[in-house]
Amino acid sequence: MPNCALTFKASAALAVAALLFASLAQPACAQTSAFVVRTTAGPISGVARPGGGAEFLGIPYAQPPVGDLRWREPVPAKSWTTVRDASSFGTPCAQPVLGDWNRHDAERSSEDCLYLNVITPAWPSKKPLPVMFWLHGGANMGGTASSSLYKDGTLPEHGVVLVTVNYRLAIFGFFAHPELTLESPHHGSGNYGLMDQILALHWVIDNIASFGGDPNNITVFGQSAGSMDTGMLMASPLSKNLFRKAIAESGAPFMPPLNSLAEAEQAGTGLATNLNVPAGTDPIQYLRQVPAHDLLAKVANVKGRGLGTGPDIDGWVIRTMTAETFANGQEAAIPLLIGTTAREFGSAEPPDELRKTIERSTGELAPRALALYGLAGDAQGTSDPLYGAASDQWGADAAFHCPIAIEAAWHSAAHHATYEYELDHAIPGQEAQGAVHSSDLPYVFGYFPKSGNIAGHFSATDYKLADLMETYWTNFARTGNPNSDNLPRWPELDGSHLYLQFTQNGTAVVSAMPLRGPQCSLFREVMIQRMNLAH
């Protein structure tokens, strides 16, 4: 960027030229300096946002977790003195190619990735605005906060400061091993990605006022793995007091169930063995020296273990089963807005295989479960116009609908304001497959992709639905209640367990019954049985 502390030592003969140069340089400096913000680590320079406001991209909140810092708690970014350019994204975190949805991110990913982005609706802000802190999805294996989907939509224009965060993924973010536990001052390993999110929250608390945000009004929100992680942050003693509200979209923090530290260490030991660490070599020392993409390639070639890392009960970040934390009302005592899409991820299992899956999952409750999905005896399963075939229903219920409904019910039972929803509106052009996983993202962010798996032929109905959902979401971030006078009323979850449905025609209506009531009632019994067996 230009140096705005210009000095001139021109002779009298060059005075006119010097003054002319200074007059030409001044507007550029004034424009640039208008977007300079001093953070706790040093000054940064953002850029104007089309239509108003400003954006500050690629801000480091931690030192690059490379070399000896791989698989360690994140360390705050080193200070700098000159103005740092913040006009472009940082790199996505190192990740394997999981499909077309993350191929672009994976191919340009790096371990040097602990950056966040701040987007404001006005610059300078006239008053402190609520902060929405976004955790992207991707199974804690892929994805990035550095995306037009999250940056270029209309969500900030509803009066919030938006922060999107990169955090370590896959083996770099969630690898447990006895040697890592031994070297840790907290005697745990495996949750480095969650530690990144917690450090980013501290950065926001320390710095967001300089961007026009209110550090005392932070809402953590996320989708898919980001939603699961949001629940884990609510459960963690390290973070549950760092934010005031939470929004969880399509993910609960106890599904899939977290491994114990011992189980995670065992899996990590097996993975290290299959990565052909030379005999007699310290496995962690050796693996820290393997370049990031070489390590990802090695992991991908380990049959049956390639994706075997995830959050665990490490005794530090997560200290007990997250299901127990919520069941006992020990999570963050904050308002929660939580929900799902109608179809999420289904499965394509034929009836006989689906029967076996349900029987393995539900044990002695299997006869009831099979009847609910029309699979008793030799029956071939019951289809539903909204939720799809029996296999679609089971997949979405077991992984999303019911864990989310249970989390909402437990949070409400602890006397915390809870608002539940279901998105039934399919992306236009995808009506045959229904409202699948990630269908909510265009409407939450007010951004309508022209390519990719959530692209569609969006129309006025979609723009209206986006404005409706963005208004609910930002009302909630502002006050802890999504309602306002100009919106259909969204009831707080109570004993009736009614929720808000965003319908195919783009409206919002209150449900007539609990979300997947009979199915989720049975699933709750299964969960409680599992929790009791774990003791």
Length of the chain: 535
pTM of the model: 0.93
Helix (H) or strand (E) holding 232: helix 225-235
Measured between alpha carbons, how far is 455 from 432 in angstroms, rounded to an integer?
15
Segment 97-100 long-range contacts (CB within 8 Å, at least 24 positions apart): 98/138, 98/139, 98/141, 98/142, 100/452, 100/453
Structure tokens at 212: 């026009």
pLDDT, residue 348, reads: 86
The pLDDT, as a whole number, for residue 534 is 64
Predicted confidence at residue 533, as pLDDT, reads 63
Which pLDDT tens digit goes with each residue over 493-506?
999 999 999 999 99
Query: Whole-angstrom Cα distance, residue 220 to residue 132?
Result: 6
Q: What is the sign of the dihedral through the CA atoms of 368, 374, 380 and 385?
A: negative
Max Cα–Cα distance, the chain, nearest Å: 100
Q: Please give the pLDDT value at position 309.
A: 78
pLDDT tens string 236-277: 999 999 999 999 999 999 999 999 999 999 999 999 999 988
Token couple for 32: 């640039």
Q: Round to whole Å and give the CA distance between 203 and 42.
A: 13
pLDDT of residue 12: 34
Count CA within 13 A, CB hemisphere, residue 349: 19
Please write the tens of the pLDDT for every residue from 309-328: 799 999 999 999 999 999 99
pLDDT tens readout for residues 6-44: 332 333 333 333 333 333 333 444 445 789 999 999 999
Which residues are the active-site residues?
224, 344, 437
- In this prediction, residue 28 carries a pLDDT of 40
Residues near 365 by Cβ (< 8 Å), separated by ≥ 6?
Answer: 522, 525, 526, 529
Using 70 as the pLDDT threshold, list the residues of the chain that sit under it: 1-32, 303-308, 533-535
